[in-house]
Structure 1
Amino acid sequence: MSQIDATFRETAAESRLESEPLSHMSVELGHLYMEDFAAGEDRLHSLLSRVVPWVDVASRTDAAKPRVSTCFLIDDYFRRYSTPAEVVPMLLGVASECGLRIDYLARESACAVSDGVPLAELVEARLTPVPPVGTNGSRPPVTEVGWLSNGQRSPADSEAMRRSAWEPPVEIGARNHSVFVDVELWGERKDGERKWSCAFLAAVWQLLRLGLIRDHGRSVVRPALWLADFPATWDELPAVTQLNPDAKPFAAYRTFSVLPSRFLQVENAVRIILSQVSINPRLLDHIFGRAEAEGMRIPRELIDRAGYVFFNE
């Protein structure tokens, strides 16, 4: 197939954007690693009890009849512990003791690939890094090095630099002072395949919750209602499992995450990534129009649709 034919077919597919049901707010009750589960119920109770006071605050919206769904992300990508049959009932039991309802359970590995769809690659293809003013393009593309920054690095060491003054890194759009951050998106595994970073998968997670990922116009994740016993392997669970039959839609106009403070740096990196992702303008307009029709005020800027609370453990 010629490049022109491929481009035409992709454009034609993009013209048929699949619409998704949307809540007004998606509240993330946790994003824990397998070592948190390995520490047992007391550890989970300690973390989830700190989430409780913030759920009501996080659930407030402009809507007259708010649709609010809750979600929980389990890391089965960087390390796998035990089985869903053991871990999920323990999590749900502790959440219930704390007075929390988890509507949707998601697997972090599904933020990389879900049902054969490479979600991380779809988002990577949408990255449009902003070139700092005055640069000459000498820095390799993000797709080659796997690093994305919010500005301009210090010049690399060279004979010319040793003869001149050092230059500091500069944040794009800095106010008074720069806060320069360089974010690793992926690294190479021994088998040559990419190992996506926690920050990049968390950015994919935010985009899924905002209903902003499409594959040639099609939705990429459809939550699957689960009413049976939980399986013996993580791969047997859907990318997003619906635990509450009466839950409001998984994706939402806005997201709010209540997380331990150890995630502060990761979520700062997430915001840098999201600020440099180019979403289909028609999809953005579609969701903005739906929100407006419901009297729901949402910002045009993508990163302003994601709210956070970080608590000390």
Structure 2
Amino acid sequence: MSSATDYSEAGERNRVAGQPLSHLSIEVGHFYMDELVNGVDRIHAQLSKVAPIVEAQIAAAEREFGPGARVSTCFLVDDYFWSRTGSRSREARRTADPGEVLPKLLAAAETCGVPIDYLAREAGCAEVPSFLDGQPIGEPIRLAEMMAARIVPEPEPQGTGRRPPSVESGWLCNGRRSSEYDAGQAMRIARYRPPEEFGARNHSIFLDVQLWSRQVEEVAGEQVERMLWSCPFLAAIWQLLRLGLIRNEGAMVAAPEPWTDPWPSDWTRLPAVVRLNPDAKPFAAYRALSVLPYSYLGIEHAVRVILDHLQIDENVQAKLVERGASERNPVLVPQLPTRRLNHIFLGDV
């Protein structure tokens, strides 16, 4: 079984921590909080479709990597937007707390035969709390801010520099916006030109993704502006965590924490990633698969655009390649994260 080791190279400022790796990580579902709160019929319907997929993927991994193939499963809970957008009544917040939601979810998964080794919080993709003996300590790692600083916009062919940097505008696209053709045309009516995807094959599939917006909240009687991270941006960070590609000053981020205590009444009292199964294979993996409803297709398209524009730590990537090559059944680790990420989309449930 894979084990964690530390790596260092001459000239490195920080040691790059190794991370245990499975061959395959399967995301067995993602529900919005209101879906988790409102009954169990939809949860059962979706998980019943997921069960045979998980079984088939485990069998496929064993054929590819041998009978010792390491496969883990995970589930992402949407606690970020539930707590940050809109007004919630006290009753709504109570029925959405972990003590209400998680027993219902885990019971449904067990009934449907879907194993969940790890439970993750979407809010943990924005800020990662530190835990000691099951209690949060110190300041959280501002993970979303850290990853936003790694965004590298795609250079424009014959670009004018008119587009504001992504870190300022909060938007990222895979080409040239139609409005960018208007530069220098203020005094005359220019013909409309559609947006254009960079590197398009015959025709463009243009996508413009909002990474964040700014939200004003009242804190202790004062108006405070805070960043509201978008679902695609948090989902991109989630996928990088599953692929073992994020470090903070060389250290692992959001390492899974075991949990045996009763569920708290507040999501912030939980680690970013909780290990439910003490015998689970590693959380991160060489390859990740997400089994999601088809309504998430647009979000995952946006995720892939974001991942293509994020600068990945070269030392972490190099060590992943080395680890894969040293496996008993060698694993080829592509340089691009999107080539390690796969999806299965479910129809209506």
> TM-score normalized by structure 1?
0.93
Deviation string for 1:136-194 (max 9, x for gaps)? 11100001110000011113557827533222211111111000000000000013211
CA distance in 2, matches of 1:233, 1:221: 18
Say which SS state the counterpart of residue 193 (structure 1) adopts. strand
How far residue 238 of structure 1 moved from its aligned partner, in angstroms, is: 1.1
CA distance in 2, matches of 1:58, 1:150: 32
CA distance in 2, matches of 1:243, 1:138: 49
CA distance in 2, matches of 1:145, 1:155: 14
> Residue 229 of structure 1 aligns with which residue?
262
What letter corresponds to residue 70 of structure 1 in structure 2?
A: T
Identical-pair percentage: 46
CA distance in 1, matches of 2:13, 2:184: 52
> Residue 109 of structure 2 aligns with which residue?
95
> Residue 3 of structure 1 aligns with which residue?
none
CA distance in 2, matches of 1:50, 1:154: 41
Structure 1, 170-179 or 81-90: larger mean CA deviation: 81-90
Q: Is contact 1:58–1:256 with CA below 8 Å preserved after alignment?
A: no
> Residue 276 of structure 2 aligns with which residue?
243
Gaps of 5+ in 2: 1-10, 84-92, 130-139, 217-223
CA distance in 1, matches of 2:323, 2:174: 31
CA distance in 2, matches of 1:159, 1:126: 31
> Residue 73 of structure 1 aligns with which residue?
76
CA distance in 2, matches of 1:151, 1:265: 17
CA distance in 1, matches of 2:193, 2:253: 44
CA distance in 2, matches of 1:283, 1:13: 13
> Residue 88 of structure 2 aligns with which residue?
none
Gaps of 5+ in 1: 1-10
- 1:169 and 2:171 matched: no
> Residue 40 of structure 1 aligns with which residue?
39
How far residue 227 of structure 1 moved from its aligned partner, in angstroms, is: 1.7
Deviation string for 1:229-265 (max 9, x for gaps)? 2111111111101000100011111100000111000
Structure whose residues are more often strand by fraction = 2
- 1:156-305 to structure 2, matched below 5 A, reads 156=180, 157=182, 160=185, 162-190=188-216, 191-294=224-327, 295-305=330-340
Q: Is contact 1:22–1:250 with CA below 8 Å preserved after alignment?
A: yes
Deviation string for 1:7-40 (max 9, x for gaps)? xxxx8543x1011111111100111111111221
Could you say which structure has the greater relative contact order, defined with CA pairs below 8 angstroms and 6 or more residues apart?
1
Say which SS state the counterpart of residue 189 (structure 1) adopts. strand
> Structure 2 residue aligned with 1:63, among 65, 69, 82?
65
CA distance in 1, matches of 2:255, 2:296: 27
Q: Is contact 1:18–1:218 with CA below 8 Å preserved after alignment?
A: yes
Equivalent pairs counted in the alignment come to 302
CA distance in 2, matches of 1:273, 1:58: 26
Root-mean-square deviation (CA, aligned residues, Å) is 1.5
Structure 1, 111-120 or 149-158: larger mean CA deviation: 149-158
Q: Is contact 1:148–1:182 with CA below 8 Å preserved after alignment?
A: yes
CA distance in 2, matches of 1:307, 1:159: 43
CA distance in 2, matches of 1:250, 1:173: 35
Q: Is contact 1:288–1:298 with CA below 8 Å preserved after alignment?
A: yes
CA distance in 1, matches of 2:53, 2:128: 31
Say which SS state the counterpart of residue 160 (structure 1) adopts. coil
